[in-house]
Structure formats: C-alpha cells, structure tokens
Amino acid sequence: MQTKEQLLKKLRPLGQTQLLTFWDELDSEQQQSLSLQIEEIDFDELNALFEHRNDPPASAAMADRAKEPVSFRLSDTREQILPLDDRLYKDYQYNPNEAIAAGEKALRNGKLAIVVVAGGQGTRLDFHHAKGIFPIGPVSGVSLFQIHIERIRAMSKKYGARIPFCIQTSPATHQETIDYFRANHNFGLAEEDVLIFCQSTMPSVDWNDGKVLLAAKDRIARSPDGHGGMLFAINSPQPDSPIPTVAEKGILAELIRRQKEEIFYFQVDNPVIDICSPEFIGYHLLSGSEFSSQVIRKQHPQDRVGNMVLVDGKLNVIEYCDLPDEAAQRRKPDGSLEIWAGSIAVHMMNIDFLRRKASYSSSLPFHIAKKKVPYVVLDPTLKNENGIPLYGSVLKPKTPNAIKYEKFIFDLLPQAKNPIVIEVDIQTCFAPLKNHPDQPTDNPQTVRKQLCDLYRLWLNNIGIRVADNVLVEISPLFANSAKELKQQLEKRSMIPDSGVIEQSVYWQ
C-alpha cells in the first residue's frame, strides 16, 4: 500500500488529489483499499479520453457517405406452420431452406455457444437488481433469465446438443446473478453449461472537469465498460468460476476446448428473441461471415437504435445520437428511409475472429456516455433544499453529471470478414425492456404485451383465436414455434372446441 504522501505525489500533477479528500477519516483497511483502487487506474488513458471528449465521434463523419446495407429478410419460420416455398426466395443469394439446413447441422454438431450480455446497470428501468431477474412473464411472472434459459433448453433438446450459456455480468450484478442461478438450480440447465463471467469497469469522471468521482469516501465510482467489454472479459481469467479452464484462462479458452466455433450473442432485455434461429446461423455460415447482425426496419428517422450502414464498402453502426438529423431524414425515391436498418444487437460471431481481436485492447475504442452517476459531494458550499451542507454525503444527481466510458461490440463489424445483415420482423423479434413503467415505450407493459402478441399470432396461425383482453403465455419448453404449439395442443387434446381461448393461460 502507498502512503498518503506517495499518492499525493502521483495525483497532484494529474489534478486528481480530490480522491484523497477523506483519507484521514479512513481506517487502515479502507486506506489500503483506496490506495489499491488508485494504483489500478490508468490515468494517462483517462486523461487522453477526457481531452478528446468533444471530438465528433468517428461514426458521425460517416453519415454523409452512409448507404443502406445489402440485406435479406429472415423468413418467419417460427410463426408459420407451412414449409417455406423455395420459389418465393429465388432472388436471394442463399436459399432459406439451405440456410436452415446449414444452421441445423451446426446446432446438431454442437458447434454453437450462446453469450448474453447482462452487465448493464439498467438505470432507466430503475429496478435496483440485475435486469435479467426482472419478472416479465405476462401471466407467469417468470424472469427474463428464465425465458431465455427455457428457449435454450428447448433448442438443446430439439437438436440433441449441449449449448453452453455464457452470461456477462458486471461487479454490480455478478454475485446476485450467481446466487439467483444457484437458488433456481440454473432453471434446469446443466451446471457445466452455465458460464458466468464478469466484465471490467472504468472510472466515471465529472463531465465538467474530468476529475474521477468518489462513490463513497473510500471507493472510486466505476461503471461497467460497455457491452463491448465482453470481448476482453471472455478472454480473461474468471477466478471465481467453478469451471477450471474458465477460472484460469477464461470463457474463450473453455469454448475452444469444447470445440465450439460460433457464438450466438444477444442482450438480456429482449424476451421475444428467437435464440439460435437456424436460418440466421445458416446465412452466417454459408456467407463465411465472421460477424452477422440482425436488424429491424426503423419506423421513424430518429428511432433509438444503432443505424447499420454501408460506408465506403464497409459495414458500420452509427449510434442514433451520432446520426445528424439531415442524414436520418434522407429518403429514397419511393419515400422510404435511406438509413433504415436498426441494429437490435443480435449477432453471430466467429470464435476464431473473437480470439484474434480479443488480444488487442485497441480492437474496440471507448465511446462517451453522459449519465447520472451518484457521487460524494466535495464542494463545501453545496447545501440541500433545507440549507443543510451536503459535503461528504452521496448525492444522486437529477441530471447527467458524469462521463461513463463504454466499448460497443458492434465496432468489430468493419474489422470482420464478409459481415452480413439480416432483417427481422420488429413485432416478433424485438421487444427491449429499457424504461420505467411511467415511460411510454419499451417499458414492462409494452414488452409483456408484445410477448402475448407473439403467442397470439402463433395461435391465430394454427386457427385458434384469443378473445380480447385475454393473456396467453407459452413456455418455450411447451412449444417454441407455431408448429410445435400445434403438435402439443393436438397431442394433449387441448384445442378448445369453440376455437377460441376465453381465459388467460400459461402453458408450460
């Protein structure tokens, strides 16, 4: 441990002595902890990032040259019961039936692993737990994690193969996620197929002066380093993992040891996602792509999704906040948006590609996010509404006050060979849980409705109507597509005589 004098000597030229404001009040254990936290910070990197905070993001400069990406549409095989008609897809580069066959073969041969990123702080939802624990089942109240795991178990059973499920957490959600999985016996997944790994963090700094914030008198404010932190987290030892290779070398080494070749990647907050869609996997494999992405057709120019674009022949994502209005509004001759492809953060990634990229921290740049970060007040003049000084207490700001530095996984796109873009249907494939119930969109009510609507559609497609205001929920273990639903209902003689479902149901 360094002494106060040694730390001051280091921090003074960096303008960061505020970190020692409460040093003399701390006991020796707290001092030791704070000293270690300070030693871990790469201040040169932090200062350089802060100096460049107002530089326009590289992607913004691309907007003028941005064109729509070449893409094709995923067939709605999960929703339909009829086999695909090849003739409808004659203009496609690859026939969807070929793609499905290629995807199914990879699944059957056990070449797939799944990564879900669940290390975010979920500040907009304001849930105060790991977001994956949020009860989203419209009838059952099951959590996001449970729905995902049941989809994985359904795919694993269908294709007779083990599919390891890797879950990215961050220090804020790590232990809680481990405890939750343990308490629920991994919702039926085999112990060795649950690989929980923790991403890294970055110090949060004051938006105005770049000074590192304190979360407590003895603790530096840190936040997870973005979903892109996954690239480095999967290549780092995870000492608390019960799986020896993961503990010593990391997730990538374990997946390579198990001869996995591709990763299906998604975000924890989308419960309608078609996990391991064979057709999507198949297009990725047939095109020799190292990084493939699902997109939806944007409904409005300023929709809050990353914009998938082609710039000088390379695929890139321009974040919605970096897309100038003029570019967002550009229209094609038929009146539709030119920049229409919104990324929904569902990707296929080649493991060898990730292995090559994970060795270089420069593979992914940091982005700047202006966020609300609670901090210890250091200004002796600051008082609350009752005139009581706030000095030394933790303040939860009402407006964004800090910079969080984050890496985004989609920055790998332009570095990948043969990346492809696949359009999916927004209604059946994308229902992100982002916001607090008092917000109008992407909130628990809208997400639950979209889940019900998906099952309603499956039922409609097999000739069963659901009465208005009736909720239907179907566990993926009961049926994971319209076709499976028809088989199940017939097998169990559960088709209502009237052809109408009159009461809310949860089939599991």
Q: Which residues bind ligand UTP (CB under 6 A)?
A: 117-124, 131, 168, 170, 199, 224-227, 229, 267-269, 406, 434
Distance CA 228, CA 173 (A): 17
Instruction: Return the number of the residue (134 or 159) whose C-beta is nearest ligand UTP.
Output: 134
Q: Which residues pair with 495 in a beta bridge?
A: none
CB of 1 to ligand UTP, least distance (A): 29
Token pair, residue 363, equals: 């593979």
Closest separation in Å from C-beta 494 to ligand UTP: 35
Residue 155 CB, shortest distance to ligand UTP, in Å, is 20
Element (H, E) at 395: strand 394-395
CB closer to ligand UTP out of 23 and 145: 145
Which residue pairs from 443-452 have beta carbons closer than 8 angstroms and sit at least 24 positions apart in sequence? 444/134, 444/136, 447/136, 447/271, 448/136, 448/137, 448/138, 449/138, 450/272, 451/136, 451/137, 451/138, 451/271, 451/272, 452/138
Neighbours of 144 (CB within 10 A): 24
Shortest reach from residue 126's CB to ligand UTP, in Å? 8
Give the Cα separation of 150 and 477 in Å (integer): 6
Q: Which residues contact 461 (CB under 8 A, 6 or more apart)?
A: 79, 80, 81, 482
Comparison of 418 and 441: residue with beta carbon closer to ligand UTP: 441
Min separation Cβ 436 and ligand UTP, Å: 9
Residue 170 CB, nearest distance to ligand UTP (Å)?
6
Burial class (CB in 10 A: 0-12, 13-18, 19+), 312: exposed
Q: Give the Cα separation of 146 and 135 in Å (integer).
A: 9
Report the C-alpha gap between 205 and 210 in whole angstroms: 5
CB of 491 to ligand UTP, least distance (A): 36
Q: Which is nearer to ligand UTP, 121 or 316 (CB)?
A: 121
Strands 201-203 and 222-224, bridge-based pairing? antiparallel
Nearer to ligand UTP, 131 or 456 (CB): 131
Which one, 46 or 310, has the nearer CB to ligand UTP? Answer: 46
CB of 270 to ligand UTP, least distance (A): 8
Can you tell me the distance from the alpha carbon of 166 to that of 406, in angstroms, rounded to the nearest whole number?
21
The Cα 508–Cα 5 span in angstroms is 63
Q: Which is nearer to ligand UTP, 73 or 304 (CB)?
A: 304
Distance CA 165, CA 170 (A): 16
Q: Name the residue number minimizing CB distance to ligand UTP.
A: 120
Q: How far is the CB of 26 from ligand UTP (least distance, A)?
A: 29
**Would you tell me how many other CB atoms lie within 10 Å of the CB of residue 314?**
13
Closer CB to ligand UTP, residue 120 or residue 419?
A: 120
For the CB of residue 117, give the shortest distance to ligand UTP in the complex, in Å. 3
Return the number of the residue (96 or 432) whose C-beta is nearest ligand UTP. 432
Question: Going by DSSP bridges, is the β-strand pair 314-318/306-311 parallel, antiparallel, or unpaired?
Answer: antiparallel
CB atoms within 10 A of CB 239: 9
In the complex with ligand UTP, the residue whose CB is nearer, 224 or 419, is 224
Tell the smallest beta-carbon distance from residue 230 to ligand UTP (Å): 7
Contact 80, 460 (CB under 8 A): no
Nearer to ligand UTP, 145 or 507 (CB): 145
Alpha helices in 193-234 (DSSP H): 230-233
- What is the H or E stretch that residue 352 is in? helix 351-358
